[in-house]
Chain A
Amino acid sequence: MGLKIGILALQGDYHKHGQAVTKLGYEPVFVKDNQTLNQCDKLIIPGGESTTFLYLIDKLELRPALLEFGREKAIMGTCAGLITLAAEVKQSPYKTLGLIDIKVYRNAYGRQIDSFVDTVELYFNDTPISFEGVFIRAPKIESCAHGIKKLGFHKNDTVVAANENILVTTFHPELTDDLRVHQYFIEKIGL
């Protein structure tokens, strides 16, 4: 399986995603331009600051290529990556990519002092699994449009959502040693 997994490397914890991809036996490719993006089979938009991502996406003229990529191939976004991919974001000064029809609140739990680690339940198949969710200044998915799959929950909140090509998490699977979210993305999304 020589899949090349692109990781948007404008800013943020892209090396952590790279480590997860490598551990799963795939090749991580750090993406900063259109040419590199087009060599990838799938893409991960990491955690970081969504305002910085969106500023740089336009400044580096990556937006058209990212939109095209997301219509044809799979993209995963974690935390700031989720915000970047969402259709509607409260308190975002920039236009997001709108590749998944969800409505998002940024920093919905509060400031860093309100960041937390707690167990989330994931429904990747018939048997739910427990996963350690690392929530850092995390967003909340306020609502999902019709047809969006809700794949993970923390208390009453949806923390993982997906459509055919796009998988998003409000927490950071890349900050744990548990590779099951990355594995699910690479092996099951966008096929």
Chain B
Amino acid sequence: MLNKEFLLKIGLAEMLKGGVIMDVTNSEQAKIAEDAGAVAVMALERIPADIRADGGVARMSNPKMIKEIQSVVSIPVMAKCRIGHFAEAQVLQTLGVDFIDESEVLTPADESNHIWKHDFKVPFVCGCRDIGEALRRIAEGAALIRTKGEAGSGNIVEAVRHMRAVQGEIRRIQTLASAELTSYAKNIGAPVELVQYVKENGKLPVLNFSAGGIATPADASLMMQLGAETNFVGSGIFKSQDPAARAKAIVMATTNFNDPDMVAKASEGLGDAMPGLEMSSIPEEEMLHKRGW
């Protein structure tokens, strides 16, 4: 049986299931997101596409801006801290943020260590590219995992790669003999107990959401069909031509992800999607998903 504190953390993640979490940078955008049926908003100063364009060090958002967003919406408000920056996380917890994203979108503060998330009462979500990274973050106390994708790219290819990597390894672990688990755990760099959990249950010990590249209703449907339990949408909404319409359409496509007629209907008349970036055009050192380990 789970301890009570962790039950509350993964319980909130359960409440977000099957929904869309939207990046917002001010209270007007937060309101648009809530009115479009978002299950939560991620408050950040610049959306990933702008962080990418602006360069420089990206940090935790200004508390004043987070408070403004908290005051205008009734849905959960999330915020990002830098990888390993537990003091930023302490500030976010004090502000009453509902979920903290220890995120590769911000400039990492610690290149060796992620935050020890068991020390916090507020739940954390962390990014991953593969099963080993997912299980390491869960060992540190993450109550929710999201595959990283490539934030601010408007290109779904990395999100698909990471989701397929995680789901594929979950299937593979289920075929392992018990005697093979220790060596497998050693190779992926994750605790054997968590690998054993995956073998026995056929899933991660926490929910797995998708992030990093969703720009259209069909992208949202694709990620849900590949095994995402909820979609994070960052730049895809507020970098598009008609954010309110696109937000609503992505919510509709996420709920009805397995109904192509509904996804088609949601995709009509949305104006232009964000332009998006070809992966080969992003210099290696600017790849956000390579941050963290």
Measuring CB to CB, which residues of chain A are less than 8 angstroms from any residue of chain B?
A: 9-16, 32, 47-49, 51-52, 55-56, 59, 79-80, 91-93, 106-107, 110-113, 115-117, 134, 136-137, 172, 175, 177
Counted as pairs of residues, one from A and one from B, with CB atoms less than 8 Å apart, the total is 112
Whole-angstrom distance between the alpha carbons of A93 and B123 in the complex? 27
Instruction: Give the distance in Å from the alpha carbon of A80 to the alpha carbon of B93 in the complex.
Output: 24
Which residue among A32, A79, A113 has the maximum number of chain B CB atoms within 10 Å of its CB? A113
Q: Are the C-beta atoms of A48 and B19 separated by less than 8 Å?
A: yes
Q: Do B8 and A56 touch across chains, with their CB atoms under 8 A apart?
A: no
Supposing A11-B39, A51-B34, A51-B75 touch, asked if A117 and B4 sit within 8 A by C-beta, the answer is yes
Q: Which residue of the partner chain, among B4, B12, B35, B36, contacts A137 with CB atoms under 8 Å?
A: B12
Q: How far is the CA of A51 from the CA of B15 in the complex (A)?
A: 12
- Is A110 a contact of B96 with CB atoms below 8 Å? yes
Contact A12 B18 (CB under 8 A): yes
Given contacts A52-B37, A59-B252, A137-B98, contact A14 B18 (CB under 8 A): yes
| B-side interface size class | 35 or more
Residue of A nearest to B252 (CB): A59
- Binary interface encoding of chain B residues 1-13 relative to chain A, with 1 for a CB under 8 A from any of its CBs, else 0: 1001001100110
Q: How far is the CA of A83 from the CA of B256 in the complex (A)?
A: 23
Judging by beta carbons under 8 Å apart, are B39 and A113 in contact? Answer: no
Chain A: minimal CB distance from B4 (Å): 4
Main secondary structure of the interface of B (DSSP, over half): loop
Please tell me which one of the listed residues B7, B16, B76 contacts residue A175 in the complex, with CB atoms under 8 A apart.
Answer: B7
Within 8 Å of chain A (Cβ to Cβ): is B209? no
- A136 near B251 with CB under 8 A, answer no
A92 to B73, CA, bound (A): 10
> Are the C-beta atoms of B8 and A49 separated by less than 8 Å?
no
Partner of A91, one of B74, B93, B248, B251: B74
Residues of B close to A175: CB separation below 8 A:
7, 11, 14
User: A113 to B121, alpha carbons, bound, how many Å?
Assistant: 6
Contacts of A111 in B (CB 8 A): 70, 76, 96-98
C-alpha gap A9/B224 in the complex (Å): 14
Report B12-54 residues with CB < 8 Å from chain A CB: 12, 14-19, 34-40
Question: Is the CB–CB distance between B36 and A55 below 8 Å?
Answer: yes
Residues of A within 8 A of B121 (CB): 113
